[in-house]
Every structure is written in structure tokens, then in C-alpha cells.
Structure 1
Amino acid sequence: MAANSLRNAIITGASQGIGKAIALRLAKDGFRIALNDVPSKKEQLDSISDEIERRTGNKACIAVADVTNEGQVEEMVGKATTELGGIDVMVANAGVLHENSKIVDMPADMWEKVFAVNARGVFLCYKHAARQMIAQGRGGRIIGAASVASKRAGMEHGAYGASKFAVRGLTQAAAQELGQYGITVNAYAPGNPMTEKFASHAEALAPYGWSTPTNYKFGEPEDVASLVSYLASKEAHYITGK
């Protein structure tokens, strides 16, 4: 980003966990924030907006949308652009896990639900953020949520792992296409930070011998947020397609 560019960021799935931590960290870094999640999370987004205002003096924009719906994603980007004065960073963080299910037992609708959010949702956020950034002509940062499962998928989580592999492939392709516009595209791939979403699965994963507190150190959402903070910074201008 140019030194005189605005500092505006959209974070999807921002109502809790990693998304909330990223929103709070980027607000601390000086970004104006557009908070996104589905309509049922509006009250939580309001609370985070209030927290950002208390901590930084800036009120965050709330852009409710379902990231699987292209029209809503386009409206989200438009609202954030209008209220903040442009978009410099898109963090396509929204994602879902699924219950343990072997591939031979997995219902097709489980597969489709996971891909709708984790792959289609990231694609739509990349697409419409990139269009806006190209129109602005000042570069930008697009950052997606992959996972350690994007490098080695776990048993009984085939849909989740495959969807996160898709994020990596999309990120690498987008980085090559968008570099000419000064837009970097990267994905973060954390292990298992102890978020509300992951906590509900930890007990089920314990029999595999790596998820219990006695033999596995969980990260925190703030650990992931610190990496995103760097990828969103001017110092990360030479990193893309990762």
C-alpha cells in the first residue's frame, strides 16, 4: 500500500474467535474496521464495535452478510467502501467446521455446506474485494483463512480439509493475477487455536492422541491475529501467494 493510502479493513466472521481477535488487532494497528458476520450475530458485532470504539476512539462499520451469497458480499464491500472511504484489506476469515464423519458416511449436504462457506465464501470475498481495490488503484491486501488442514487433512474431516486446500489453490492463483495491481494475496494456516468453534470438537478429537491439554499446547486467537497484522502491513509488500 502507498504511504498515503487509507487504512480500511473488512473482516468476515468477526463475531467471535479468530475473526474477533483479528478485528481488535487491526483496529489497534490503526485500521478502520468493517465487521462482518451473518444476521444472527449482529448483537455480537455491536459489542465488538463498542469495544473498538472504547479502545481506539473509532467506531467500526457493521456490514452484515452471508458470505455464500454473492449479492450480499457485493453489498458488504459496497457498504464498507462507502462508510470507510475505500477498502485496503480484506480478511476472508469466515469458516465452518463439521462433525466427525468418515468420507464413506458423509452426507452430500454436509460437504456442500462446508464448501459453500469455506471455499465459495472466500472466493466471493476475494473477487469483490479485488474488484474494488483495482478500481481504487492503490493496491491492497487480500488475506484468506486456510488451516493446518490445508496442508495435511485430518481423518473424519475430509470436507473441511478439502475446502481449506481449495483456499490455498485460490490464494495462489489470485496472487498471480492481482500482483500487477499492487495487491498481495496470502492465506494463514493456523493449527488449533482454542476458540469457541474448536472447543466443541476438541473432546471428539481426543482419542486420536494429540488434542488433549496434557499433550498438546493450544494457541490463542491473538496468535493468529498477530500474523494477519503483519500480512496487512506495508512491511509485507513483498510476500504473496503464501
Structure 2
Amino acid sequence: MDSDSYLPSKRLLGKVAVITGGARGIGAATAKAFAQNGAHVVIADILDEPGSRLADIINGRYTHCDVSIEGDVERAIQLALDWKGRLDIMFNNAGVAGPDGSITNLEIGRLTSLLAVNLHGVVHGIKHAARAMIDKKTAGSIICSSSSAAIMGGLASHAYTMSKEAILGLARTTACELGEHGIRVNCVSPHGVASEMLVGAYKRFLGNPDLKTEDVSKMVSETGSLLKGRGPTVEDVAQGVLFLASDESGFITGHNLVIDGGFTAASNQMSFIYQG
């Protein structure tokens, strides 16, 4: 589904957002959805060319940001404050796939590198977003990208799964603390979205370097959802993040919004029992 098929409703009118990993994939789709709904968006990423180009398109701002470096995240948030004087929304979206393979061969150095991005990066985002929101007395919304892999075993590597499940716990504990300031902390957990990361994983697992995005989307629509013939898109996830960023979710915190077409909720392997 194309992002243009969603009608903007100005649900974020005047709000200021920072999106890490916002240059492509789910982050870019969310940046567009936020801007279409009236938000001022700072894109923070290590992909300078696509990030800058997208920021120009949505009349936002771009900053180079490696989320594993705390100072980079702090500077991204400061850019929002210098630009618009406040921060209302923080979307901690940046992440990497990390090492595959058996736990018996897991290289701790590579695990440490993954956690520096996937987990420490989220800690940096929550920490500095919360400081800005408390200082400006903004009842803001912090959203973190987790994954269906945090809910169901066997969907991703040990390292990636560990990092994404840790994010769920972090979101719950920080929701407890920051609720005193009116700040909400929630997660989104997508499944099967044919992002660059997932397509790369399928290429490795299936040993097929020629796989395309549409090939992965077709596989997911056939086996990774209760909704037959309907695969997930980056825009589906962006709409979930938009809801959690908006005042429409004003009484929701400490929650994990699973965007998986029902995959982790129930099995479709026995669907024949409902027929006839």
C-alpha cells in the first residue's frame, strides 16, 4: 500500500518529532506520515544522502546520527529543540540485524556491537528525549521499535531476538517512571515487513542473493499472516507509530503494539477445522 493512499488528518499538527533510522524503510515511511499529519520531523541516521533528501521533501531537518554514540543522539534531540523549541515525539527506530548462527558459535564481540545499536541506542533515545520533555514540561510520546521476534522464538537470530525483547522490558520500566511527567512510552513490534534488513536476512537464510523485495513480501503473505493475500508494508507500521504518537493514544503507555497480521496470536495451520 502506497503512503499516498493514507489521507492526512493533521493528527500531529505542530508537534516536533525525532526519528532515528529515519532515512529508509519503516523510519522513512513514518517520517512521511508524521509530516503529512502536521509534524515537524528531524531525521537522524547514518545514511546521509537519502536522509538529507527525505528531510528536504518533508520540510524537515536531517542530522548524521550513530545511535550507539550517546552524543549523536543528544545532538539530534538538541537540533529539534534549537529548531522548534520543544520535543513531543521520539521514535527510537534505528536497528541492525547482527550475527546469525548457532549460540555455540556466537561471537561476543559481534553481539556487543549489535547491542550498542539496538539496545544502547534506545537507552540513549529514551534518556535524552525524557530529559528534553521533562525540561519543557511536554507530555510527550516515546515509541521504540521491537519485533515479533521478541514474542515468538525462532523468528530471528539469538542476538537480534535478545536485543528486541530487552527493549520491551525497558519500555515498561521507563513508562513506570516517566508517567509521573505525563510522558508515555510504548513499543511497536512488526512482523514480516519486507525492509532492507529482512530481505537481506532472507537472502542469507535461503542462499539466494537474487531475492527481491516483492519475493519476500509474497512469502510473508503466504505463510506469515492470518490475512491471506495481504502482506505487511512499511506504511502499516508507520500508521501504528502515528497512532501511538498522537493524542488519540493519550491513555496508552507501557504497551507493545504488535503489527503482524495475527501471526503471533494464533495458528492458521489448522484452519480446515473451521470449514464446512
TM-score (structure 2 length as normaliser): 0.78
Specify whether residues 218 and 109 from structure 1 end up closer, same or farther in structure 2 by C-alpha distance, changes over 3 A only. farther
For residues 78-116 of structure 1, the C-alpha deviation after alignment (integer angstroms, 9 at most, x for no partner) is 111111221100000000112421111111122111111
Of the three residues 49, 59, 62, the one matched with 2:55 is: 49
When the two chains are superposed, the root-mean-square deviation of aligned CA atoms in Å is: 2.1
For residues 110-156 of structure 1, the C-alpha deviation after alignment (integer angstroms, 9 at most, x for no partner) is 21111111100000000000000000012100000100011123266
Q: How does 1:1-242 map to 2 (within 5 A)?
A: 6-38=14-46, 41-52=47-58, 59-154=59-154, 157-205=157-205, 211=219, 214-216=222-224, 218-242=231-255
Runs of 5+ in structure 2 lacking a partner? Answer: 1-10, 208-217, 225-229, 256-276
- Measured in 2, the distance between the counterparts of 1:145 and 1:35 equals 15
Larger deviation: 177-186 or 107-116?
Answer: 107-116
Aligned residues: 230
- 2:190 aligns to what SS in structure 1? coil
Q: Give percent identity, aligned residues only.
A: 33
Note the C-alpha offset of 1:201: 1.1
Higher relative contact order (CA 8 A, sep 6+): 1
Instruction: Confirm or deny: 8 A CA contact 2:186 2:253 kept in the other structure.
Output: yes
What is the one-letter code of the residue matched to 2:50? Q
In the alignment, what sits opposite 1:56? Answer: none
Note the C-alpha offset of 1:203: 3.5
Specify whether residues 121 and 236 from structure 1 end up closer, same or farther in structure 2 by C-alpha distance, changes over 3 A only. same
Instruction: Confirm or deny: 8 A CA contact 2:99 2:111 kept in the other structure.
Output: no
TM superposition outliers: structure 1 runs of 4+ over 4 Å: 3-6, 210-214
- Measured in 2, the distance between the counterparts of 1:112 and 1:4 equals 36
Runs of 5+ in structure 1 lacking a partner? Answer: 53-58
What is the one-letter code of the residue matched to 2:25? G
Instruction: Confirm or deny: 8 A CA contact 2:17 2:91 kept in the other structure.
Output: yes
- 2:154 aligns to what SS in structure 1? coil
- Measured in 1, the distance between the counterparts of 2:69 and 2:12 equals 33
What is the one-letter code of the residue matched to 1:103? I
- Measured in 2, the distance between the counterparts of 1:181 and 1:201 equals 40
